[in-house]
Amino acid sequence: MPALDSLEVPDFGTLQVVPTGTASLELSGSISFKDPRAVLTPFLHRVHKVACNLPDRTLEVDISRLRYVNSSAIRVLLDWTKWILQEPAEHRYEILFRVDFANSWQNPTLSVMSALAPEVVRVKPRS
C-alpha cells in the first residue's frame, strides 16, 4: 500500500491538499464548490485506504489554514469518520486534526465530530 506522500492529488481549485509526510496531510484554502461529495470523496477514500495500514494508527490532518468549508463538505468529513468506524479494529486509525479556531467553522464542526466519533477524532491547535 502506498504512503500518503505518494498519492496523486487532484486539482481541487480553491482547496489545496499537500501530503506532508507518510502519515500527514495539509488542507488549505476553502471548500466552497457545489458538490464536494463527488469531488472529495474519491480522494479521501484513497487516503482512508492508506491510513488503514499506518503503523502508528494516527493520520495527522492540518486544517489550520482551511478558511471555509460549506455544509456539504462537512458531510464528507463526517462520512470519513464513518468509514473508519466501519473498519475492523485492526484497521481503524485516529485522525488528529491540527486546527486554528480563529477559523469560525472549525470549533463547532470538530466539536460535533469529536462527540460523534471520540475514538477516531482528536483535535489539537496547530503548534
Residue range 21-32, pLDDT digits in tens: 899 999 999 999
- Domains contained in the chain, number: 1
Helix and strand numbers (H, E) in the chain are 3, 5
The pTM score is 0.94
Task: Please give the DSSP secondary-structure letter assigned to residue 74.
Answer: H
List the CATH number of the domain containing 104: 3.30.750.24
* pLDDT the model gives residue 6: 87
Sign for the pseudo-dihedral over CA of 63, 116, 58, 76: negative
* pLDDT the model gives residue 53: 94
For the chain, which residues score pLDDT lower than 50? none
pLDDT in tens, 39-48: 999 999 999 9
DSSP bridge partners of 125: 99
> For the residues of 21-51, what is the DSSP string, one character each?
ETTEEEEEEEE--S-HHHHHHHHHHHHHHHH
6 vs 21: CA distance, rounded Å: 9
52 vs 45: CA distance, rounded Å: 11
Domain span including residue 103:
4-125
DSSP bridge partners of 96: 60, 122
